Structure 1
Amino acid sequence: MNFALVLFLLLVATAILWVIDRFFARKRRSAEAPAPWWVEYGASFFPVILIVFGLRSFIVEPFKIPSGSMIPTLLVGDFILVNKWTYGIRLPVINKKIVSINEPARGDVMVFRYPADPSMDYIKRVVGLPGDRVEYLDKRLRINGQPVQMAPQDDYLHPDRLYYSPRFSEQLGKVEHSVLIERDVPAFVPQVLDYPFRENCTYTTAGVSCTVPPGHYFVMGDNRDSSSDSRVWGFVPDTNIVGRAFFIWFNFNDMQRIGGFH
């Protein structure tokens, strides 16, 4: 379900009722007469829906993390906030950019419409910018021929499954974050989809090498061996960008997770 479209249609419907009541119906009924049902349940909700629509469309939008592809940065069940204007102002529903502000940077955690099915929202970390040569070979990341800095950390304990994964610190641009890389999972990418600019990528048993086309981004999950990302379904076009994730505002299982993240 396209919630933005539903909210927009509700906004239009309540706005029409509000205009009819404000400029026509209200003048025809006496001051003592009760408001009709369509005013009480329709027009009266217009200011509330207008505020919600404006905030959600242009300022900040809440999301819930549905999968473990961004562990250990984001866990299943995290409720996060997404900055809607940091990459530019876009028209609601059609997501067309009308004002450019900033461009995604390496290391940003970005929410976008899944290229293979734009009705779905995905969240991954930006790894490659337009024009970059991104290589993920033998589970080592290189950008434009330069290895990305990595350092081992303490193993990560998955609280739901009670097993450990090797954890590393990775430096992408100005952002230092943690990634999980399983030692016993093969390096090659299985089940690659047919996607636009597929010819920009080369797949081998060691992994994948891609040149990011103009206006697109290469994204990956922090849980490297449990993430369906640009290695599988290709590049994220600028037109699919929703915003930058920046804050965990709730988690039913762990209130200590509330706060900002990298």
Structure 2
Amino acid sequence: MTDRTTPDGVLYRIRPRASRLGRLLLAGGALLLLASCRNFSVPSGSNIPTLLVGDIVMVLPFGEGPATGAPARGDMAVFRLPKERSSYFIKRVIGLPGDRIQMRNGRLFINGDMVRREPAGSYKTAVEFGSEKPVPKYREILANGRTYEVIEIQGDSGYYDNTDEYVVPASHCFVMGDNRDNSDDSRDLAAVGYIPLENFVGKPWRVLFSTAKAQMRLFKIIQ
């Protein structure tokens, strides 16, 4: 900024304008970032409340823009299914290579430590015959500070709310859906299992738009 004074001696400041080159570089960078994105539609409710059926999400390759060079704990991530590489899933990365993951009475344990969980109200979700009911919603806080919301349709007594301990192999990750009682994920070793790092496609960055009813989700950041 530049300080100036009026003829009456009043001090004021002039904010310099961004140069034309700077504006062009900024716009060019934004266009390159958008060009690197791939768009994926969300076909299921396995990540409610974070992602809804009908969301179209922008996915950045890992290592570009705000996406890190590899999946980090707490990231939402798109990956190819190990047993059917033509199928793409979106889940949250919970376990990294060498981690021990377990569910006990609906609570997530990582390497023997229970992940902090706070009540976050309730979430209305569809049940039988087209009706809706409120189900418990929680905010999980990982040791690295990442937070996100999950729902428990069956409370803490769902099919995968009590599991054996999983040990994540080298060069693999363990993924779970935020809709904990309605998600095909790494807890089912036969259908999904551990995800090789090479199968990860990118990180969902924003909701580009959504066909979900009664939802204002245009360009919403994905946590």
Aligned pair count reads 181
Aligned to 2:167: 211
Q: What is the Cα deviation at residue 70 of structure 1?
A: 0.2
| Cα offset, 1:208, TM superposition | 2.9
Map 1:15-34 → 2, pairs under 5 A: none
Match of 1:71 among 44, 48, 53: 48
Q: Secondary structure at the match of 1:239?
A: helix
- For the aligned residue pairs, the C-alpha RMSD in angstroms reads 2.4
CA-to-aligned-CA distance 1:72-126 (integer Å, 9 cap, x gap): 00000001000014279xxxxxxxxxxxx62211110000001121101000000
AA aligned opposite 1:216: H
Matched, 1:116 2:83: yes
Matched, 1:230 2:186: yes
Name the aligned partner's letter for residue 73 of structure 2: R
State TM-score, norm by structure 2. Answer: 0.74
Alignment of 1:46-195 (within 5 A): 59-86=36-63, 102-158=69-125, 161-172=131-142, 173-183=144-154, 186-189=157-160
Give the fraction of aligned pairs with identical amino acids, expressed as a percent. Answer: 39
Aligned partner of residue 93 in structure 2, secondary structure? strand
Gaps (5+ residues) in structure 2? 1-31
Unpaired stretches in structure 1, ≥5 consecutive residues: 1-53, 89-100, 190-204
Structure that is richer in strand per residue:
2
For the 8 Å contact 1:87–1:104, the answer to whether it is kept is: no
Q: 1:255 to 1:137 in 2, by over 3 A?
A: closer
| Equivalent residues of 2:62, 2:70 under 8 A apart | no
Matched, 1:244 2:203: yes
Amino acid at match of 1:82: V
Counterpart CA distance in 1 for 2:64 and 2:180 is 25
How far apart, CA to CA, are the structure 2 residues paired with 1:184 and 1:72?
15
Per the alignment, do residues 225 and 231 of structure 1 end up closer, same or farther by CA in structure 2, a change over 3 Å counting?
same
- Give the superposition deviation at 1:255: 5.6
Query: What is the rounded CA distance, in whole Å, between the counterparts of 1:210 and 1:218 in structure 2?
Result: 9
Q: Which residue of 1 aligns with 2:222?
A: 261
* Residue 210 (structure 1) shift: 0.5
The normalised TM-score by structure 1 is 0.64
